[in-house]
Amino acid sequence: MSGKVKVVVTRKLPDAVETRMMELFDARLNLDDIALTHEELIMAVQSAEILVPTVTDNIDAEVINSAGDQLKMIANFGAGVDHVDLTAAAERGIIITNTPDVLTEDTADLAMALVLMTPRRMGEGERIVRAKQWTGWTPTYMMGHRINGKRLGIIGMGRIGTAVAERARGFGLAVHYHNRHRVTEELESKLEVTYWESLDQMLAHMDIVVVTCPSTPATYHLLSERRLKLLQPHSYVVNTSRGNIIDEAALVSLLEQGAIAGAGLDVFENEPAIHPKLLAMENVVILPHIGSSTIEGRVAMGERVIVNAKTFIDGHKPPNRVLETLL
């Protein structure tokens, strides 16, 4: 590639990131921060040499196959790439990159916050105070459950799962995990975690379950109705990964029945739409997909996009190419 490469950015990014992109590339920004329609995405890939999408963009086979030969790279702003048709991209020889590592700590912080908030009924308590319904302290008012000494099961011991395990130990939780591949003995010893080869067996023994695995075809509804029914009635579910990993309708039903004690959710199966019954449940803490939403994290994500794009433009392999590992 010669001259300034045309880079199309689908959503508004932090000012520092957009400024640097304007300096380095022929950058087309989305100043209104309104998600592009499917038709607008098709138009974008017909002129872009590098596309910078986010999780809100459905880069499906139709979009990719509409791209001109000039589209060489999709530099995703975010770690998850489940919104990109990787097979279609591979067939067109389009490089896919993401932004791992830089959002790990922020997402783990939020997961841990939900682990704390949900059993202690913090969301419910905050709503009561704001509604001016609190009449004062009493010995039996708003009693929740302590987390110290409880068993925490982590689904997915990648970067974020590992960071959650590190935090959980500080709160006195006994940490367990299920992962596609067992981590090293050294890491297990360092984190003081217990491995379960069977997800079903782990679920039946946990007090709190945290979902931190990526969204892939293999993890779609990983927590199905059958698996959710394995949880004990006093158990809580926390999800900061992707909404489609949990069968949301089944979760709602089991929460209604009291078969699960509560849930802390930062992601939803059909977001931004949220199941209306979840909105009405006092034992559910709901957040608007803010797992990586810190100023530091979002700037670092943008910087990682720039590094991937600049490295590719300079003729080298981008450091965060994901296609080989996810196909």
Residues involved in catalysis: 242, 271, 289
Element containing residue 78 per DSSP (H, E): none
Judge whether 232 and 208 are in contact, CB under 8 Å.
no
The DSSP line for 97-155 is E---STTHHHHHHHHHHHHHHTTTTHHHHHHHHHTT------TTTT-----TT-EEEEE
Among all chains, which residue has been given the structure tokens 């089991």?
254
* Nearest by Cα to 237 from 270, 193, 281: 281
Q: Which residues of 263-290 are buried (b: 16+ CB within 10 A; e: fewer)?
A: bbbbbbbebeebbeebeebebbbebebe
The DSSP line for 161-198 is HHHHHHHHHHTTPEEEEE-SSPPPHHHHHHHTEEE-S-
DSSP structural state of residue 270: B
Helix, coil or strand: residue 304: helix
Count, residues in the chain:
327
Among all chains, which residue has been given the structure tokens 């596609």?
180
Number of Cα atoms under 13 Å in the Cβ half of residue 115: 31
Judge whether 175 and 168 are in contact, CB under 8 Å.
yes
Judge whether 83 and 61 are in contact, CB under 8 Å.
no
Please calculate the CA angle 103-109-114 and round it to the nearest 5 degrees: 125
Query: Cα(46)–Cα(40) distance, rounded to whole angstroms?
Result: 10
